[in-house]
Amino acid sequence: MTTLQPKLILLFSGKRKSGKDYVTDLIQKRLGPDLCRTLTLSGPLKERYAHERGLDYEQLLGAGPYKEEYRADMIRWGESRRQQDPGVFCRLAVSAVTRPVWVVSDCRRMSDLQWFWTEYPQQCVSVRVEASERTRALRGWRFTAGVDDAESECGLDQGVDFDWILTNNGDANLLDQQLEGLLSLIKAKTQDSRDGIHQRGE
């Protein structure tokens, strides 16, 4: 069970190769490990999927062809588990987090957002990372039927009024400006936690 209530939960989503990991890594580095913990919903999914299928979990966590080879089957496997229990991977992802700020880097479905909105109604901020298809293709994305036209990639395309939208087409200055705004919000919401860490000299 989670031992501490978070001060703030950033719920990131975005298309494949939009830069979710890149942006959340930047935020994690800016906030530091004492204040912030980055979580994925796909991590616990991949661990259980790999165990059940006898596959290499570490390679499923990677960015190479091995993960892409099993992506469609992982999606189907994950959706069958979510139909039984929509919050299953959300609960697993937050089960041992003790930091005040949680960055969930890979929300994909309305059920993901709804679980966090229900469990933590005051703490959630939804963030959409956007990149053009041209930019995504330059980063190695290729349209894959059964993946890019499935809920896994399209589940949050409509019906969400995101709190923040980050445009991430490679303009470092534009991204920095957008991140400064988001980081200001984070710091405003976590002043007491940051003071406590500072006082403890952590």
Ligand X SMILES: Nc1ncnc2c1ncn2[C@@H]1O[C@H](COP(=O)(O)OP(=O)(O)OP(=O)(O)O)[C@@H](O)[C@H]1O
Is 15 near ligand PMV (CB under 6 A)?
no
* C-alpha torsion 67→40→25→128, nearest 10: 100
Site residues for ligand X, 164-193, by CB under 6 A, read 168, 170, 175
107 binding ligand PMV? (CB under 6 A) = no
How distant, in Å, are the alpha carbons of 32, 65, 124 from that of 62? 23, 9, 28
18 near ligand X (CB under 6 A): yes
**Binding range to ligand PMV, per CB under 6 A, among 68-76, 119-127, 134-142, 158-166:** 68-76
The encoded tokens of residue 133 equal 């298809």
Angular region, 130: left φ>0, alpha ψ -120 to 50, beta rest: beta
| Residue of 129, 141, 118 whose CA lies nearest to 182 | 129
Q: Report if residue 23 touches ligand PMV, rule: CB under 6 A.
A: no
Q: Which helix (H) or strand (E) segment is 110 a member of?
A: helix 110-119
Is 15 annotated as belonging to a binding site? Answer: yes
Q: Which is nearer to ligand PMV, 154 or 197 (CB)?
A: 154
Contact status: 44 vs ligand PMV (CB under 6 A): no
Smallest distance from the beta carbon of 74 to ligand PMV, in angstroms? 4
- How far apart, in Å, are the Cα atoms of 87 and each of 15, 33, 69, 92, 153? 21, 26, 26, 9, 18
CB distance 160 to 45 below 8 Å: no
Pattern of binders to ligand PMV over 149-178, x per CB under 6 A? ---x--------------------------
Q: Which does 45 bind (CB under 5 to 8 A by kind): ligand X, ligand PMV, none?
A: ligand PMV
DSSP 3-state percent helix, strand, coil across the chain (nearest 5): 50, 15, 35
* Binding stretches for ligand X (CB under 6 A): 14, 16-22, 139, 168, 170, 175
* Binding stretches for ligand PMV (CB under 6 A): 42, 45, 67, 71, 74-75, 78, 106, 108, 152
